[in-house]
Chain A
Amino acid sequence: KQEVTQIPAALSVPEGENLVLNCSFTDSAIYNLQWFRQDPGKGLTSLLLIQSSQREQTSGRLNASLDKSSGRSTLYIAASQPGDSATYLCAVRRVAGGSEKLVFGKGMKLTVNP
């Protein structure tokens, strides 16, 4: 059974810091991995998707890396801003059984203080 873990559960930093958010998964047989952002009471916004054959993806100040063999992904946020405050979730889609579902971590709540 695939399990996704995000540690720590919460992080509070001053504005301007470069951040690394961690995600680990137990089954390396994944099809892809997505990073999402969720604002309080809202739905999920897709930030980056990494295919299993890729090692990283970049979008603006965000960079996500994937190490399938070790079961890890990191989301790097450069020059953090108060507007980055949100909960960040990672999710993996398995290859085995052709399941389309995403398996999510519990998320990491980020607070960027001005």
Chain B
Amino acid sequence: DTGVSQDPRHKITKRGQNVTFRCDPISEHNRLYWYRQTLGQGPEFLTYFQNEAQLEKSRLLSDRFSAERPKGSFSTLEIQRTEQGDSAMYLCAGTSQRSSYNEQFFGPGTRLTVL
């Protein structure tokens, strides 16, 4: 158990609806990452926070996607006007500020299905 939790674990929605996912890292994870994984592929980077600052965003993060980490603890990822192509596993990972190796520890993921 990495201590990183994600909610919900599964989400089924209709095309055009908005969805929001939550990630709770452990308290010492000052860095937080979001990745997206489609079937048969490795995870792809979406965005990264150091404390509450969003420092890097992938081109995959279209205008319909927004991520926040308001207090430098939990993070949310919102997808507006979902499309079938958004169906994927959304993974969150954390890194401890005490780790000189920057090892990333992943949560269980949120499986999104867009009908």
Contact = CB atoms under 8 A, between A and B. Distances in A.
Given A34-B104, A42-B109, A45-B106, A102 B91 contact: no
Nearest to B48: A100
A99 interface: yes
A44 B106 contact: yes
Interface residues of B, number: 29
Interface stretch (B13-21, B36-44, B64-72, B74-82): B36-44
Interface of A: 4, 31-32, 34, 36, 41-46, 49, 51, 89, 91, 93, 99-107
Contacts of B101: 32, 49, 51
Contacts of B106: 36, 43-46
B66 to A, nearest CB: 18
A104 B104 contact: no
B40 A34 contact: no
B42 A32 contact: no
A106 B42 contact: yes
Contacts of A93: 102
Nearest to B9: A41
B65 to A, nearest CB: 16
B55 to A, nearest CB: 7
Interface of A is mostly: strand
A99 B56 contact: yes
Contacts of A89: 42-43
A107 B42 contact: yes
B56 A46 contact: no
A36 B107 CA distance: 13
A100 B33 contact: yes
A77 to B, nearest CB: 19
Given A42-B108, A43-B91, A91 B42 contact: yes
Given A32-B102, A36-B106, 17 more contacts: A43-B2, A44-B43, A45-B2, A46-B106, A91-B42, A100-B48, A100-B102, A101-B45, A101-B48, A101-B56, A101-B58, A102-B33, A102-B45, A104-B42, A104-B43, A104-B44, A107-B42
